Amino acid sequence: DTEVTQTPKHLVMGMTNKKSLKCEQHMGHRAMYWYKQKAKKPPELMFVYSYEKLSINESVPSRFSPECPNSSLLNLHLHALQPEDSALYLCASSHPPTTGVNEKLFFGSGTQLSVL
Partner 1 sequence: RKEVEQDPGPFNVPEGATVAFNCTYSNSASQSFFWYRQDCRKEPKLLMSVYSSGNEDGRFTAQLNRASQYISLLIRDSKLSDSATYLCVVITGGFKTIFGAGTRLFVKA
Q: Where on the chain is the footprint of partner 1 (CB under 8 A)? A: 31, 33, 41-43, 45, 48, 50, 55-56, 88, 90, 96-97, 100-110, 112
Cis previous bond, 8, omega within 30: yes
* Min CB(116)–partner 1 separation in Å: 19
* Angle at CA of residue 107, ends 3 and 110, nearest 5°: 100
When the beta carbons of 48 and 78 are compared against partner 1, the nearer one is 48
Residue 45 or 80: the one with the smaller Cβ distance to partner 1 is 45
Instruction: Provide DSSP, 7-26.
Output: E-SEEEE-TT-EEEEEEEE-
Q: Name the minimum Å distance from CB 77 to partner 1.
A: 21
Q: Least distance from C-beta 37 to partner 1, angstroms?
A: 9
Rounded CA-CA distance 75/115 in Å is 18
Q: Is residue 105 within 8 Å of 93, Cβ to Cβ?
A: yes
Q: Which residue's CB is nearer to partner 1, number 60 or number 80?
A: 60
C-beta of 43 vs 66, nearer to partner 1? 43
Distance CA 40, CA 16 (A): 28
